[in-house]
Amino acid sequence: MGSLERSKKKVQLWKKAIFHFLLCFVMGFFTGFAPTGKGTTTSMFSTRNAIAIPKTHHESNQTYPSLNMMINKPLSDETSSTTTTITTTVTSQWSKLNETRHSKKVLAEDQEEEEEKQQDQDQDQDQEPKEANDEFLNTERLLIIVTPTSAKDQNRGMLLKRLSNTLRLIPQPILWIVVEQQIEDSQVSEILRKTGIMYRHLVFKENFTSIHEEVDHQRNVALNHIEHHRLSGIVHFASLSNVYDLTFFDELRAIEGFGTWPMALLSANKKEVIIEGPVCDSSEVMGWHLKKSNNSNIDERPPIRISSFAFNTSILWDPERWGRTSSIQDTSQDSLKFVRKEVLEDETKLMGIPPNDCSKILLWNLPLST
C-alpha cells in the first residue's frame, strides 16, 4: 500500500510538471504573436501623434518619414503596408489642415487689411472736419459787439433778448459787451447768462443828466475794457433798436482798419425812411450822402452815426501806428472821441461794405415808441 501511494504521488507530480510545461508553452506560443500587435498599436499611437502635430506651429512634413522609418523598421511587409496606408492618410489630413489653416490665415490677413483701411478712412474723415474747423477758427476774427443799455428803457429786457437771438446765429468767435449803470435789481446778468453767448457785463457808478453823455460814457467804459485786456478783434456798436441782415457780420470780419456802410433809419410813427452812409466806388469811400423819403439831397456832410462804422481794436493800444499820443495805461481819455476823429479825418482809411458800391442795406434802426 505504501508503494502504491508513492507511485500515485509521483504521477501527480509529473502531471503538474507537464501541465506547467504546457501552460508555459502555450503562453510562449501566443507571446510570439505579440510583436505584430505591438507594432500595430505603436502605429496607431504614432498616427495619433502625427494628427496631433498640426497643433504646433511647425509646417514641415519632414518629421513624418523619420518617424515612419523608426516605426516600420521592426515590422513585416504586411505591417509596413498598413503603416504606409496610415502615413498616407495622415499626410493627406496634414495637407488639408495646412490648406485650411493657410486659407484662414489669408482671410484673416485680408480682414485685418480691410479693417486697417476702414480705420484709416474713418480717421481721415474725422480729421478733415477737424482740420477745417481749426482752419476756420484760426482765420476768423473776433467780433466785439458793444451795447449800452439803461434801466430807464422799459423795453430793454425784450430788446436784449431779440438782439441775443440775432447774435446767436453768428459764427463764432463773438464777444458781447453790455454796459449799464450799477443798480441793485438789474436783470441784465440773468438775461445774459441764458443767451449762450460769450459776454462781459460792465457797470459804472457815475450819474449823468444827459442821456447822450451817459451813452458815450458807456461806450468809453467798453473801449477802456478792450484796451486794458488787449482784446483783438473788430468792434461794432450795436444799439438795441438795430435790426440786422446776418451777412452784415460776415462783412465786418473783412475790415482791416476802419469800415463803414449805409444805414436805414426807420420811424415807427412816421411813414418815412432816411438812408445815411457813404458813397462808394467798389469798396473805396468817395463821399457821403443823406437821403430822405422825397429823395432830396443835402450837400453838407452829415455826422456819422456810431452804428455806421466799425474798427480794428489795435488802434486802441498801438499809438505809433495810428498817431495816438497817450499811453496804453491812460484809460481816462475819451477813446470814443479819438475813434470818431480818426474816421472823420481821413476817408482813405475807411472800407465801404458791402464791397459792391455800398448799395445794399444790411442794417436798419427802428426805435420803438414808449
pLDDT higher than threshold 70 for residue 17: yes
276, 280, 292, 298, 358 from 295: Cα distances, Å: 12, 18, 5, 10, 18
> pLDDT tens-digit profile of 292-302?
444 444 445 55
Query: What band does 26 get if pLDDT is binned at 50, 70 and 90?
Result: confident
Q: Higher pLDDT residue, 243 or 275? A: 243
- pTM over the 0.85 mark: no
pLDDT at 120: 65
Q: Within the chain, which residue ranges are assigned CATH 3.90.550.10?
A: 140-365
Bridge partners, residue 204, by sequence = 181
Q: Higher pLDDT residue, 27 or 144? A: 144
Q: Residues of 112-130 as b/e, b for ≥16 C-beta within 10 angstroms? A: eeeeeeeeeeeeeeeeeee
- Cβ atoms 219, 148 nearer than 8 A: yes
Query: What band does 237 get if pLDDT is binned at 50, 70 and 90?
Result: very high
Q: Three cell numbers at 211?
A: 442821456
Give CA 168 to chain center in angstroms.
21
> How far is it, in rounded angstroms, from Cα 311 to Cα 351?
10
Q: What percent of the chain has pLDDT over 90?
A: 35
> How far is it, in rounded angstroms, from Cα 98 to Cα 103?
8
pLDDT at 271: 76
pLDDT higher than threshold 70 for residue 48: no
Q: What percent of the chain has pLDDT over 70?
A: 64
pLDDT at 365: 92
Query: What band does 250 get if pLDDT is binned at 50, 70 and 90?
Result: very high
3-class secondary-structure state, position 290:
strand
Q: Three cell numbers at 10?
A: 509521483
> pLDDT tens-digit profile of 111-136?
777 777 676 666 555 544 444 444 44
pLDDT at 227: 92
84, containing H or E segment: helix 77-139
Q: Which of 93-97, 182-186, 215-219, 230-234 shows the lowest per-residue confidence on average (mean pLDDT)?
A: 93-97
> pLDDT tens-digit profile of 347-369?
778 899 988 888 899 999 988 75
Query: What band does 340 get if pLDDT is binned at 50, 70 and 90?
Result: confident
> Residue range 89-108: average pLDDT?
60
> How far is it, in rounded angstroms, from Cα 173 to Cα 171?
6
pLDDT at 94: 54
> How far is it, in rounded angstroms, from Cα 5 to Cα 26?
31
pLDDT at 103: 64
Strands 258-260 and 273-281: unpaired
What is the fold, at CATH topology level, of the domain defined by 140-365? Spore Coat Polysaccharide Biosynthesis Protein SpsA; Chain A (3.90.550)
